[in-house]
Structure 1
């Protein structure tokens, strides 16, 4: 399948219409293109729907509202994917990029939503503002790369994984607030799902291996059904078709600290995206210059604005899909275009979102241990490329930054006496870690060159692709 499709020429001059005039696409039938797009969607599906489930359940939203978040996530993710892969004037990298909600924003958004003075309206206001901020600063991000060498980004990603692990562990025990929290049946099902994922990863090949988490969740849900742990009542009552309405939770509000918090998250997201685009350009033999990189980062920004409007969260390119491009050799951007259309369609099927919401937390716990653990493991792999032997100062950057990142996790009341307005910032271990890592790296190592930073970003992206 991969040998039948070659990379297309750069689309920097504008969108190229689908059809026989485009040679790479003309050699792929509609059925094959649809299957390839569906493969991209299935590979990212479990990760794509994880964030609305995490945030919705952490904020104790009703099942119907959590299902709405899932639908909105798929719908807005489809739009964001089309923005990146198909492109708009001045926006979109126009490469085979699939967009999904970033895990980096989960912890600060939960902190915002848990504050009654901010709530969901404040989250969506911060998301929209952070997206607009990304649109404005996109041309400058290349100059910020030296602030985020591997010792900084690896530390941040490690803390993201560790912070999220708490969610996966609580899921495995049945979910916080569950009267039967920690029941043996919950732990057994979570362990079973984990074993299924590990077995598929060890013995599966090709697409089956890539979709191991999704398959593990499906198998686990079947087993949980035999124990009476799956409630399909909301699935039965959900309609087959409905539109995703903007501002379904009310008009957004704009809390200054929340806006600054998510804007910092967007800088980290755009630094990661820069590495992804540069690595993908090597895979596709399709050069990315500064102007095209800026368009891609604007795509992240516009995708995030779309997310805030349609009741979801900040978007970024999914690394596993970039890895899939390298594995399959299918390098035409129209595979991602089809994948985006499929995501749009899935977002218009509330019954499917209700089915996702019906997955028991213990099943998600087994999968979450893998998903969130791999985030942390990716950070560790990035740090593996850092020179600790000849530069002991890097040890202090990692050690102190991880320590700051763990404060909200191990001592939730540490900043209780600080002004309430600062809590969304101080209660985010990810942001504390990021600020600490950037400042300590500047203190110990100074500011590196842009060329070195670009090369490091490519190596980092290739490390993430492996997962």
Structure 2
């Protein structure tokens, strides 16, 4: 498995596989800047700049994370993109009459710097992620994202023609084509089954006349991402604290994602790897403060793609990062990729996110539920909490809005619940199957 992680495909295959990763994550990546720009009532020009800045920083973070330059990065096939946990806090700070976007990006700078210092401390918490916790977190990632895939397949949440027959037909066609490619395809064709299904879906959508080409003709071919586009950064204790909380949530999300990916590719995540990965998360937040972007986290869509295709090469994701940088500098191409209908993405998402859930169940199969029946309770409650934001987006409306980044992420809720309940029920000396001093062996892999 490890050799597959370091393998470099042929030039043609390399480009196609990297493009597949970009297409899978693109919709979610641009959603965050669009949500923030809409909430702050930014002009069309500023909105376009924020999307380009987001893609540019996503690309930089992806290259650092997958390549592992300068002692940074987890060196696994990871694609980084903006976390949805940042949208609400950024809108709250940016729309405050006494604050504004300058305070948002000032908070990014301080949070990123603090995260770089705290990453080794977070790495020591790896002992709290045995198979019981890891499997639960992986399953929660897949389950929570299945709701996203269902909305995509129906045309996108809030669409005026939500769940109309054309959207369902497109999603079903893409789903079926991917299954056919994986079942009957051989070699490279099977590896790019998701891409081929999405391309066929795009062609069908164009023939049905449901692709929105708005903005393509007016978008420039090349445009620089200028630092501090929205003015110099400003600093305020509340804004700094808020963005530090967001980064902590990113750390929790990324820890779960990295553990999931390590299980899928057959390279268990070690403490040193986790620290390097979290440092890139922090650096990505710092870059977001400079280039007016967002805190980045590893995208589970791409973890699902790795699981589905079996392509474990981290160099594919390195090239995806460079593609994202290029898209950030070429708005016209970015608009073209953004034209992919949600229903096309939904057909692919149903397969990929379901596979992530299945991998979580496979990890849980290693857990002893007979001698320790309370382990079943830990899984049940953690997954139940993960589904709350999926089932009801208004469940936590009467709680303080400052807790929104925490409460509206099912992955974070499941992670915190699984870690806490495992420590409570199994005790501090039995968290990983026996007394462990993580400092005595920093390279100890997960059991």
Calculate the TM-score normalised by the size of structure 1. Answer: 0.74
Would the alpha carbon gap of residues 383 and 312 (structure 1) be closer, same or farther in structure 2, given more than 3 Å must change? same
1:45 to 22, 25, 28: 22
Matched, 1:428 2:413: no
Aligned to 2:355: 374
In structure 2, do the counterparts of structure 1 residues 208 and 74 end up closer, same or farther at CA, with 3 Å as the change threshold? farther
Contact 1:194 1:370 in 2 (8 A): yes
Matched, 1:413 2:413: no
Paired residue secondary structure (2:217)? helix
Q: 1:132 to 1:278 in 2, by over 3 A?
A: farther
Deviation at 1:378, TM superposition (A): 2.9
The residue that corresponds to 1:465 in the other structure is none
Structure 2 residue 163 is the aligned partner of structure 1 residue 182: yes
- Kindly indicate whether the alpha-carbon contact (under 8 Å) linking 2:271 and 2:444 is maintained by their aligned counterparts in 1: no
| Change in 2 beyond 3 A, CA 1:421/1:335 | closer
CA distance in 2, matches of 1:382, 1:174: 33
| Structure 1 residue ranges without an equivalent (≥5) | 9-23, 460-467
1:162 to 143, 157, 169: 143
Question: Residues 47, 118 of structure 1: CA spacing in aligned structure 2 closer, same or farther, 3 A cutoff?
Answer: farther
Which residue of 2 is the match for residue 100 of structure 1? 80
The partner residue of 1:256 within 241, 244, 249 is 241
Are the counterparts in 1 of residues 111 and 282 from structure 2 also a CA contact under 8 Å?
A: yes
Superposed, 1:12-23 pairs within 5 Å as none
- How much does 1:136 deviate? 1.6
The 10-residue stretch of structure 1 (440-449 or 220-229) with the greater mean CA deviation from structure 2:
440-449
What residue in structure 1 maps to residue 372 of structure 2? 391
Report SS of the residue matched to 1:168: helix
Contact 1:34 1:338 (8 Å CA) reproduced = no
Once residues 126 and 382 of structure 1 are traced to their aligned partners in structure 2, the CA distance between those partners, rounded to angstroms, is: 38
Contact kept? 2:123, 2:272, Cα under 8 Å: no
Deviations 1:32-88 (A, max 9, x none): 875464245224223331422443566684987776566445432332244346655
SS in 1 for 2:80: strand
Q: Which residue of 2 aligns with 1:198?
A: 179
Please name the residue that 1:464 is paired with: none
In 2, Cα distance between equivalents of 1:395 and 1:72: 44
Q: Determine if contact 1:240/1:351 at 8 Å carries over to the other structure.
A: yes
The residue number in structure 2 matching 1:316 is 298
Cα deviation 1:149-177 (Å, max 9, x = unaligned):
22223222322322222222222222233
C-alpha displacement of 1:129: 5.4
Q: Distance in 2 between matches of 1:263 and 1:408?
A: 19
Of 258-267 and 58-67, deviating more is 58-67
- Whole-angstrom distance in 1 between the partners of 2:216 and 2:294: 21
CA distance in 1 between counterparts of 2:136 and 2:319 reads 35
Q: 1:381 to 1:244 in 2, by over 3 A?
A: farther
Following TM superposition, by how much is the alpha carbon of 1:373 offset from its aligned partner in structure 2, in angstroms?
2.7
Structure 2 runs not aligned, ≥5 long: none
How far did 1:396 drift? Answer: 1.1
Distance 1:133 1:396, change over 3 A: farther
2: distance between equivalents of 1:67 and 1:202? 40
Residue 392 of structure 1, CA deviation: 1.2
Change (3 A) 1:261 1:89: closer
CA contact (8 A) 1:71 1:346 kept: yes
Distance 2:37 2:147 in 1: 17
1:64-143 aligned within 5 A: 71-84=52-65, 89-92=70-73, 95=75, 97-101=77-81, 105-106=83-84, 108-109=85-86, 111-112=88-89, 131-143=112-124
1:225–1:377 Cα change, 3 Å = same
CA contact (8 A) 1:154 1:383 kept: yes
Residue 410 of structure 1 and its aligned partner are, at CA, apart by: 2.6
TM-score, scaled to structure 2: 0.77
1:228, CA displacement in angstroms? Answer: 1.0
* 2:167 alignment partner, SS class: helix
2-structure distance, mates of 1:180, 1:289: 47
Post-superposition CA distance 1:234-264 (Å, at most 9, x none): 2222122122334556768826345324413
Partner of 2:337: 356
Match of 1:273 in 2: 258
Aligned to 1:150: 131
Deviations 1:312-368 (A, max 9, x none): 44133865797899868x7xx877665544443343221111012212222222223
Q: 2:203 aligned with 1:222, yes or no?
A: yes
1:400 Cα shift? 1.2
1:300-311 → structure 2 map (5 Å cutoff):
300-307=281-288, 309-310=290-291, 311=293
CA distance in 2, matches of 1:395, 1:314: 33
